[in-house]
Structure 1
Amino acid sequence: MKIAILAAGGVGGYFGARLAAAGYDVTFVARGKHLAAIRKNGLRVTSPLGDLVIEHPKVVEEIDSIGKVDLVLLAVKLWDTEAAARSLKSVVAQGAAVVSFQNGVQKDDVLARHLPREAIIGGVCYIAAVISEPGVIAHSGTMQKLAFGEYDGTRSARVEAFDQACQKAGITTEVSRDIRRLIWEKYVFLVGLSGTTASIRKPIGPIRENPHTRAFLLDVMHEAVAIGRAKGVALPENYAEDRLAFCDSLPATMTSSMHHDLERGNRMELPWLSGGVADFGKALNIATPRNSAIADILELYAAGTH
């Protein structure tokens, strides 16, 4: 199985490195200092599950220079989805499937504006990994899971092949017959975690312990559930309460990548997370006061402050 990784950030770099270490033909797409460091020193991963170094990885600057591949793992930031989709036309025309492990629920609709629907596999990833320095991916915690599946619920040969590759690479997997629901389940939690930690500027511990901020977190997730149910996603009515209980099981110091981005002055995925819930609410005539407030409060920081 030939696999392309677009791009070799925290998510793509980690899972791509695990697949490459298992012997699969993996080509990474990277830019700038990260690309230069990978070419010079290889791609390094630090992880509680075991460090690894891919000594001489295949790495390119543009994906259309790769040629024919079987599968593209898409892991760019959400604002780059449109450009990434356009860049994938050539490899998809040669038979590649695309599975996005990005955040949000809008990603595959954006891909489908540029690529055939049948080329797109639904995906969700669960991991905390970042580029700690050029050429180095730092994985924190032990969670490293990929869930994926065809949108029509079938268990296709390409999904089976990727599942086998992941298992050989030591990656936890779930092949789903209802991948849209899984994507929305993660979205509900992610909207709650990112929206509250970024707007309150605290990790999850203090937020869940204070009755006012705990209620705020629950309301944020309730709104996301209401939007998903209105869109026909099979989320239980009490799913926000389920995710609040999950929040209670997390380390008190856990925060979100959006909170990290805010603190560092980086661009944030706000328009697709709380901003996305607010936009869906306007389109569906569903009130989303908490998420709308988060989007408004963070608006001045959304593009980054560098």
Structure 2
Amino acid sequence: MKVLFHGAGALGGYFGGRMLEAGYNVSYLVRERRAEQLRKEGLKIHSPAGDYENKEVKLYTSTEEIEEMDLIILAVKGYHLQQAIPQIKVIAQRTGAFVLPLLNGMEHIQQLREAVGIEKVLGGFASIIATLNDKGHVIHSNKGSAIKFGALHEAQVGICEKLEEINHDIQAAILREDDILKHMWKKYIFITAFSGVTSATKLPAGFIANIEATYRVARNVVLEMSQLAGKEGISFSEEEVDKIVSSMRGLAKEATSSMHQDLRKGLPIEVEHLHGGALRMAAKHDLQLPVIETLYGLLKPYENGEPNNRQ
């Protein structure tokens, strides 16, 4: 199976690196600047699960170079999605590859289906705490990491079986889920609360756990998102909702969201993709999400990076 990672940030770099480490046929489609960095530094992972280095990663900087591919794993930030879709469309049409997006949120599924066809887009997401350092090395800070995926169309059963086989060989979890949509919504609910509160407060998880007023904000986001999921046909019990909320108290005190990490670096953040996406879906159902709307308003000025750094 030939796998193409679209994007070699912390997410694509880590999981693609783990697949390469196990001997799988993996390549990357990246921008020229990232390609130059990878050619110079190699793909390097620093992780509690074990370090890895590869100086001979196969890189593409143009879709024209890609002739054969079985699976495209889309590992970009939400704000890069619109730039990535035309490239994904070209590759999928030329090669017949399936697409596994690892973005948070839900809007991108329909957008990708419109581009490449309903039968080609799998469901999935990733769970990992990682970032890139100034040399472009992947810094993975928690021992666990996982990709969860599943079929959204009967035509995807074969590719899911092939991807599931990888789980036995690599230093990361590649887990197939039958009810992938519910798992995606669970992650969306959690990350909308966790990224929103850590970014708005500019503080890590310990402050959510220890300050009751802050914890209530996170809980209210989870409640609003579970209501939205219900309107979209995915129901969560009261017990399931409580479990999502309480999971924030189980995180390491210094743990934080990738949105908060990007905010601290003055980089663009996924507020439009996550919180804006929730508000757009809610509007279709005439559903009010006041806490999410407040977080969206507080974070929107940082959407394109630190406001003071704009040209």
TM-score by length of 1: 0.94
- 59 and 24 in structure 1: CA distance in 2 versus 1, 3 angstrom threshold: same
Q: Which amino acid aligns with 1:264?
A: K
Aligned equivalents of 1:134, 1:41: Cα separation in 2: 7
Q: Which runs of structure 2 are paired with 1:140-151 in the superposition (5 Å)?
A: 140-151=141-152
Match of 2:103 in 1: 102
- 117 and 155 in structure 1: CA distance in 2 versus 1, 3 angstrom threshold: closer
Aligned equivalents of 1:271, 1:102: Cα separation in 2: 13
RMSD of aligned residue pairs (Cα, Å): 1.7
- 230 and 90 in structure 1: CA distance in 2 versus 1, 3 angstrom threshold: same
Task: Judge conservation of contact 1:81–1:110 (CA < 8 Å) in 2.
Answer: no
- The more displaced of 291-300 and 165-174 is 165-174
Match of 2:228 in 1: 227
Task: Judge conservation of contact 1:6–1:63 (CA < 8 Å) in 2.
Answer: no
Aligned-pair CA distance for 1:153: 7.0
Aligned-pair CA distance for 1:147: 0.7
Aligned-pair CA distance for 1:135: 4.2
Aligned equivalents of 1:238, 1:293: Cα separation in 2: 26
Q: Which runs of structure 2 are paired with 1:79-158 in the superposition (5 Å)?
A: 79-93=79-93, 94-152=95-153, 156-158=157-159
Aligned equivalents of 1:127, 1:154: Cα separation in 2: 29
Match of 2:173 in 1: 172
Larger relative strand fraction: 1
Aligned equivalents of 1:304, 1:32: Cα separation in 2: 21
Aligned-pair CA distance for 1:36: 1.1
Pair 1:213-2:214 in alignment: yes
Match of 2:191 in 1: 190
Task: Judge conservation of contact 2:49–2:171 (CA < 8 Å) in 1.
Answer: no
Aligned equivalents of 2:6, 2:64: Cα separation in 1: 11
Q: Which runs of structure 2 are paired with 1:246-265 in the superposition (5 Å)?
A: 246-265=247-266
Q: Which amino acid aligns with 1:66?
A: I
Aligned equivalents of 2:133, 2:62: Cα separation in 1: 23
Task: Judge conservation of contact 2:149–2:177 (CA < 8 Å) in 1.
Answer: yes
Task: Judge conservation of contact 1:153–1:178 (CA < 8 Å) in 2.
Answer: no
> Unpaired runs of 5+ in structure 2?
none
Deviations 1:277-302 (A, max 9, x none): 22222221112110001111222222
Number of aligned pairs? 306
User: Residue 192 of structure 1: SS of its match in structure 2?
Assistant: helix
Identity within the alignment, %: 27
Deviations 1:25-44 (A, max 9, x none): 11112224431122234211
Match of 1:74 in 2: 74
Match of 1:239 in 2: 240
Aligned-pair CA distance for 1:200: 1.8
User: Residue 253 of structure 1: SS of its match in structure 2?
Assistant: coil
- The more displaced of 249-258 and 36-45 is 36-45
TM-score by length of 2: 0.93
> Unpaired runs of 5+ in structure 1?
none
Task: Judge conservation of contact 1:18–1:169 (CA < 8 Å) in 2.
Answer: yes
Aligned equivalents of 1:303, 1:288: Cα separation in 2: 23
